[in-house]
Structure 1
């Protein structure tokens, strides 16, 4: 694993571990802001908890686990995707800069919104990062190519061996008469 990955993944994950722990411990701090996003999502996804505080706790737990997995490089691609999924509603709930009246608050919320958007971009890159190992798609394509090449070589060797064997069989047949 490259030094950039070893350093970059924990740096990207740190915000999720810290924020997720806070959401698990104190969901009441963000529940009022999250209500506007949690309600429409829980109406559409039946497996999510109906109470906003429970949904915030669940999102925080996913962020902690996903952050730790991303930081350690274990299952980092699915972890990055899980973190990205939790980041979208978090951003939409907490940083609604377009609703702010105060110009100072609007600017602060816009900065946080763009920061989260940047983190989302980093997570999408991390979700696509194979860690310098070939992806499963690449491996399957090359395995299929290698199989076709091997089959072609076998076919050529069978054909090359069949002609002399047939000639030897004809000679043996003439000699045995």
Structure 2
């Protein structure tokens, strides 16, 4: 089971770490997009969210308080779904469909992050981690 969880951590974290790096490397483009979606203080929010998801991804990947990392990622995807992919506000059918797909993707990632949090917080010894959980769900 340890290796299976490790592979899952690698695959899950890679998405967020890559996205966080993109937030920083493409900050101007990401800020423009966030601004167009009505995100307040987008110039600050974009790099902060990039660092946020890199940290969350690294915590999950390395198994350092992976439960905390999963919570950080959960917060990000919930906020991103609500702020960036509000499909219900779209009037163009194609734009609505595209935003709905992104919203549902983020909803699914939120579910995965919540399950990861529960797994890491409930099971003390998943093995192949650097630390145990920060939170306890027993």
Instruction: Say which is worse superposed, 70-79 or 118-127, in terms of deviation.
Output: 70-79
Distance 1:28 1:91, change over 3 A: farther
1:45-102 residue CA offsets vs partner (Å, 9 max, x unmatched) = xxxxxx4212210110010121122122221100110111122222222212112222
C-alpha RMSD of matched pairs (Å): 2.3
Offset of 1:10 from its aligned partner?
1.5
Name which of 104, 124, 132 aligns with 1:133: 124
List, as ranges, runs of 4+ consecutive aligned residues in structure 1 with deviation greater than 3 Å.
Answer: 35-38, 134-138
Name which of 56, 65, 70 aligns with 1:75: 65
Distance 1:136 1:84, change over 3 A: closer
Aligned twin of 2:29: 29
Number of residue-to-residue matches in the alignment: 127
Aligned twin of 1:100: 90
Larger CA Rg, structure 1 vs 2: 1
Offset of 1:8 from its aligned partner?
1.0
Bigger helix fraction: 1
Partners of 2:97 and 2:51 lie apart in 1 by 30
Offset of 1:137 from its aligned partner?
5.8
DSSP 3-state at the match of 1:30: helix
Flag structure 2 segments of 5+ consecutive residues without an equivalent: 126-134
Does the aligned pair in 2 maintain the 1:24–1:57 contact within 8 Å? Answer: yes
- The TM-score, its normalising length taken from structure 2, stands at 0.78
Aligned twin of 1:11: 11
- The TM-score, its normalising length taken from structure 1, stands at 0.62
Partners of 1:102 and 1:136 lie apart in 2 by 46
Does the aligned pair in 1 maintain the 2:66–2:117 contact within 8 Å? Answer: yes
Instruction: Say which is worse superposed, 21-30 or 70-79, in terms of deviation.
Output: 21-30
